[in-house]
Structure 1
Amino acid sequence: MRTVLLTGFEPFDQDTINPSWEAVRLLDGTQLGDDVRIIARQLPCAFANAGACLNELLAEHRPQMAIAIGLAPGRSDLSIERVAININDARIPDNLGHQPIDSPVVPGGPAAYFSTLPIKAMVRALRAVGIPASVSQTAGTFVCNQVFYSLQHALADSAVRSGFIHVPYLPEQAARSAPGQPSLALEILAEGLRIAALTAWNTQVDLAETGGQVS
């Protein structure tokens, strides 16, 4: 049985839930084909051990594809990330109280890594079923970007394709702590991630269509 590893994060910034994990864990064990299934695992929201935890999961499960998922407050869709950068610059402390500023994810590593997923095909597939999605040009500089960069770095010399997706708040989160912020229902997030993973698995060559931004 071949595997697709999906990861989500534990809650952070004094919240009690994280939609990335709530959606991902619903997909644990989901079949994407006769011989491929999703394995869902949670990552800590901490600079000191998120990357190490990710590497342990890669070594344990040896996935044929890996997608990390995180929360991006303020976004309104499933944001398929294009690029991870080699910088940690935390606006807030992580769950261990650490707040690195202008430090590299991997000392001496490349300035950036691109996703190796068919990001534009994934966006098209999501939009085709009415789930809002877009290509994102930045994964930020918090633990999400650190994990994205660490994932691409770990798999850079392998044939395993990988990348990162940001998701919005859940409606109950927005109502409780961020009134007016965009959100998507858990069922939509989970189904969107399933479609994104399935599309990535079945698409070897990405679409050549616009996904850029003016600014």
Structure 2
Amino acid sequence: MILLTGFEPFGQETVNPSWLAVQRARQSLRAEGLAVEALELPCVFGESVMVLNDAVSRFNPDVVVSVGLAGGRDRISLERVAINCDDARIPDNKGQRPIDEEVVPGAPAAYFSSLPIKAALRNLQIAGIRGEISQTAGTYVCNHLFYGLMHSLANRSGVRGGFIHVPYLPEQVPPGGTAPSMPLELTAQGIAVVVRTALSTQQDSKLGAGAIH
């Protein structure tokens, strides 16, 4: 059983490609005979984690892939690490703006993704889809959710999970704008690649994909 999540729109955006792409990925994975559920999460500190944890308890998935928007990035970002820090540059969708607060008070400073992100990167490259290993999921609701997910999964044996960021859709970029983007269908294909890799790969690949800065 696979659980996919995306976010509702936030900030000034009227759509969130993470949720649109998750729905497309669910369709293609179900067409392959896989059991997949998809969930749209509120872009809200605290509430997003509670909704996700309820879904994990309800569906009892083997794999959880949460997806969010990273406007300005030009490829699918496979997030390596979630940090125990909320530091919001803008308010969430309920006006909350935590600064220098822990996601889970007293919990570990960070958790690593348990998805095979290096193998997924290789498979994205084989599929001709731009991808990268990202060393930071930020300090907004995406990281908050990623950390909350991994904190919850630390006590659930056998469940693998992680977070990926996706670019803007082309239609989100104003005419003449220079922000990078990725078509919805390609983004959905990328999410499906990550899921298939998680299902077929127990030992992650040894692949150089780090960052100098």
* CA-CA distance at 1:37 after TM superposition: 2.0
Do 1:174 and 1:183's aligned partners in 2 also have CA atoms closer than 8 Å?
A: yes
Q: Which amino acid aligns with 2:208?
A: T
Identify the range of structure 1 (24-33 vs 179-188) with the bigger mean alpha-carbon deviation: 24-33
Do 1:7 and 1:43's aligned partners in 2 also have CA atoms closer than 8 Å?
A: yes
1:143-158 equivalences under 5 Å are 143-157=141-155, 158=157
5+ residue gaps, structure 2, are: none
Partner of 1:175: 174
Give the SS at the match of 1:63: coil
Q: Against the structure 1 CA distance between its residues 175 and 203, is the aligned structure 2 distance closer, same or farther, given a 3 Å change threshold? A: same
* CA-CA distance at 1:33 after TM superposition: 5.7
Paired residues in the alignment total 211
**RMSD across aligned positions (CA):** 1.4
TM-score normalised to structure 2 length:
0.96
Give the SS at the match of 2:37: strand
Do 1:32 and 1:198's aligned partners in 2 also have CA atoms closer than 8 Å?
A: no
Q: Deviations over 1:3-29 (max 9, x none)?
A: 110100000002110000010012335
Partner of 2:20: 22
Structure 2 residue aligned with 1:195, among 193, 196, 208? 193
Do 1:123 and 1:133's aligned partners in 2 also have CA atoms closer than 8 Å?
A: yes
User: Using the alignment, how far apart are the partners of 1:184 and 1:84 within structure 2?
Assistant: 24
Do 1:32 and 1:38's aligned partners in 2 also have CA atoms closer than 8 Å?
A: no
* CA-CA distance at 1:179 after TM superposition: 1.7
Structure 2 residue aligned with 1:60, among 58, 61, 77? 58
Q: Deviations over 1:100-153 (max 9, x none)?
A: 000000001100000001100000000111100010000000000000000000
User: Using the alignment, how far apart are the partners of 1:182 and 1:15 within structure 2?
Assistant: 16
1:1-215 equivalences under 5 Å are 3-29=1-27, 30-31=29-30, 34=33, 36-157=34-155, 158-175=157-174, 179-215=177-213
Q: Which amino acid aligns with 1:172?
A: E
TM-score normalised to structure 1 length:
0.95
User: Using the alignment, how far apart are the partners of 2:140 and 2:79 within structure 1?
Assistant: 14
Identify the range of structure 1 (155-164 vs 25-34) with the bigger mean alpha-carbon deviation: 25-34
* CA-CA distance at 1:48 after TM superposition: 3.2
Task: Report percent identity of matched pairs.
Answer: 51
Identify the range of structure 1 (87-96 vs 36-45) with the bigger mean alpha-carbon deviation: 36-45
Q: Which amino acid aligns with 2:115?
A: L
Give the SS at the match of 1:138: coil
Q: Which amino acid aligns with 2:134?
A: S
Q: Against the structure 1 CA distance between its residues 123 and 11, is the aligned structure 2 distance closer, same or farther, given a 3 Å change threshold? A: same
User: Using the alignment, how far apart are the partners of 2:149 and 2:125 within structure 1?
Assistant: 26
Do 1:27 and 1:38's aligned partners in 2 also have CA atoms closer than 8 Å?
A: no
User: Using the alignment, how far apart are the partners of 1:32 and 1:152 within structure 2?
Assistant: 29
5+ residue gaps, structure 1, are: none
User: Using the alignment, how far apart are the partners of 2:151 and 2:125 within structure 1?
Assistant: 30
